[in-house]
Amino acid sequence: MNEPSAVSHHPSGKTPWHYCLEVRDLAAGYGEKPAIDGITFAIRPGQMVGVIGPNGAGKTTLFKAILGLIPILRGQILLHDADAHTQQAMMGYLPQLDDIQRTFPVSVTDVVMMGRYPRIGWSRWPRNEDRTSVRQALDRVDLLDHRDTQVGRLSGGQLQRALLARVLAQDPHLLLLDEPVSGVDPATQHSIFGVLEELRNDGKTVVVATHDLNCVAERFDQVLCLSTSLVAYGPPAEVFREDILEATYGSHLMIVKVGDRRVVVADEHRTRPKG
């Protein structure tokens, strides 16, 4: 495995965290048959990891298991060497767009402020520093002009950026983003990945479920191939091999030979309903 690109330090300043997120032999899901099984990997701080796999491979299930939203049947999830589920505020989650109630009477600012709630604490109201942090997050995703807009009046790309701003305002160590660029325009895709790279450079650990294999190959440090169980985990240069991709996607993947070039086409875009 590569040397870590950044090592973040424990608040005491002494022990460096070797891993930001460590998943050991994880099985999770409802009922008796786990939706994901036999998942083991570890992510160093300051890395950007792409999670790929066909629909139903368990990408969302993996995120929800890490966040403590679904029952863990076996295994361990550690955040900075301690049980992840005792420090949930350190994890920021961007759910899929379909989960958002667009008719809800809240403005973009209201939604981004929700990211501050764990820091504000129970029975307290937002302080100036929270409002500043919300403004900065909105500025970072270029939504300051829409800060008073009701969330349902945003385009898909704007809503996605607003939800990303909520995660930024939360200021977590680990970000879990479920298909942040699916169904949004190319300009938004570009700006979202730009923000994610900035976060990575700030030492945050960014984990993104995506269907955009090209982007993963170009911009990500590690790839996690998921198909109910873990198929492969490593840098794109090592993981993007025909046999691994075939094992991940099975019949969902087409490899087209054009002259001496090989083009890989995942058919997710046809099967996924647009949000």
What residues make contact with other proteins under the rule CB under 8 A? 67-69, 87-89, 91, 93, 95, 99-107, 110-111, 114, 117-118, 120, 122-123, 125, 150, 152-153, 166, 170
**CB distance 169 to 112 below 8 Å:** yes
Which residues are CB-neighbours of 148 under 8 A, at least 6 positions away?
107, 108, 109
**CB distance 34 to 70 below 8 Å:** no
CB of 4 to other proteins, least distance (A): 26
CB of 106 to other proteins, least distance (A): 6
CB of 130 to other proteins, least distance (A): 11
Q: Residue 109 or residue 248: which is nearer to other proteins going by CB?
A: 109
CB of 195 to other proteins, least distance (A): 18
Please tell me the distance from the alpha carbon of residue 146 to that of residue 131, in angstroms, as a whole number.
15
In residues, how long is the chain?
275
The SS3 assignment for 109 reads helix
CA–CA distance from 49 to each of 180, 197, 218, 224 (Å)? Answer: 13, 11, 12, 7
Q: Residue 63 or residue 249: which is nearer to other proteins going by CB?
A: 63
Q: Residue 10 or residue 102: which is nearer to other proteins going by CB?
A: 102
Please tell me the distance from the alpha carbon of residue 264 to that of residue 275, in angstroms, as a whole number.
24
CB of 131 to other proteins, least distance (A): 14
- Over the Cα atoms of the chain, what is R_g? 19
Q: Residue 91 or residue 226: which is nearer to other proteins going by CB?
A: 91
Q: Residue 120 or residue 247: which is nearer to other proteins going by CB?
A: 120
Q: Exposed, middle or buried, 185 (CB in 10 Å: 0-12/13-18/19+)? A: middle
Q: Residue 34 or residue 115: which is nearer to other proteins going by CB?
A: 115
**CB distance 142 to 157 below 8 Å:** no
CB of 118 to other proteins, least distance (A): 5
